[in-house]
Amino acid sequence: MTETQMNLNVHEIGILLSALQTLSVSDEKVIAKDYGSAPALYNKLYSLYEQMDQSKVQLSYDFTPSF
């Protein structure tokens, strides 16, 4: 198993948490088969998210994604 470290800000972790929340049950099963438990990853990320400074989080949704 290979590990790496990344620096993620509160916004980026929020995006990952949101994406994990939108997974369907079938998607969770596919991910679990190949990579591990999505709920376990969510819990780990959420634990970190709770410890971060969220006081300056002011997201604006008036944009068009570039992807």
- Digit-coded pLDDT (tens) for 5-45: 999 988 899 999 999 999 999 999 999 999 999 999 999 99
- Asked if residue 46 lies in contact with residue 15, where contact means CB atoms within 8 angstroms, the answer is no
Higher per-residue pLDDT: 16 or 67: 16
The whole-angstrom separation of Cα 39 and Cα 26 is 13
**Residue reference for tokens 């972790």:** 13
Instruction: Say what the pTM is.
Output: 0.74
In this predicted structure, what is the pLDDT of residue 54? 77
Residue 66's pLDDT band (cuts 50, 70, 90): low
Question: Once rounded to an integer, what is the mean pLDDT over residues 52-61?
Answer: 70
Contacts of residue 10, defined as CB under 8 A and 6 or more positions apart, other chains included, come to 49, 52, 53, 54, 57
Cα of 64 vs its chain's centroid, Å: 20
